[in-house]
Structure 1
């Protein structure tokens, strides 16, 4: 039996801060009235993205839960239609106070790429495939 990956759960400190950040990337979360420390969003292709506060996650673990420390351990990647859109979104997010990790650049693997972090330090990649150059490279 092969399991199906259908949900990603991000642990956050504050639901409102997190949903405001992800709204800037076009995601709309629905809060769960029964659990104010939980929100979810359906994504294309059947993937489901959840946000749970540290408090909620800690109460759901038998032995408790503590926030990991260190650099982001995972990244969500958002594809844009043009390199200019990557640059504009990076500028918008960093101007709004979200930390920039990598300013937009033309990566050697053929993409315009930039990275910011969400309010909880999770890595958020912004990218767009670059058009092939006239010499085929």
Structure 2
């Protein structure tokens, strides 16, 4: 059986990237400024988020990472109000909302935000 185990992003500034994902509810174990790879705490069977420094990814792949111009993953919230609150907290912290919260025609409250390296993350909840 094959299944999705992890989603990876790269970071040019690990402290900024970790702070961004903490605003999305991820909890990180202790990590150091020299760490080239960090992962938030995940329960067994959950999809993991892996964050590698841009330098490490360039060493591993032979080219500098380039964030996608589309959403790379989405975060499910419990309520539409939580979508608004999370989007507001990210915007207040200086992050860019590429799509402000709106009631999508497919029945979800939806927003999109860029992480510090340009990866787009959807935030949504059922209406």
Instruction: Report TM bin, short chain.
Output: 0.7 to 0.9
Deviations 1:29-87 (A, max 9, x none): 33666x611101243433221100111111223xx122326x52442211111111111
TM-score of the superposed pair, with normalisation by structure 1:
0.80
Number of corresponding residues: 125
Matched position secondary structure for 1:9: strand
Higher-Rg structure is 1
Change in CA separation of 1:103 and 1:47 when aligned onto 2, cut-off 3 Å: same
- Aligned mates of 1:46, 1:85 — CA distance in 2: 22
- Aligned mates of 1:11, 1:31 — CA distance in 2: 19
Query: Does the aligned pair in 1 maintain the 2:69–2:120 contact within 8 Å?
Result: yes
Which of residues 46, 50, 69 is equivalent to 1:72?
69
TM-score of the superposed pair, with normalisation by structure 2:
0.86
Verify: 1:91 aligned to 2:88, yes or no. yes
How far has the Cα of 1:119 moved from its partner? 0.4
**Where does structure 1 differ by over 4 angstroms across 4 or more consecutive aligned residues?**
none
Gaps of 5+ in 1: 131-137
Query: Does the aligned pair in 1 maintain the 2:58–2:65 contact within 8 Å?
Result: no
Matched position secondary structure for 1:104: strand
Higher relative contact order (CA 8 A, sep 6+): 2
Query: Does the aligned pair in 2 maintain the 1:12–1:52 contact within 8 Å?
Result: yes
Where does 1:12-91 land on structure 2 (aligned, <5 Å)?
12-30=11-29, 36-44=35-43, 45-61=45-61, 64-68=62-66, 72-91=69-88
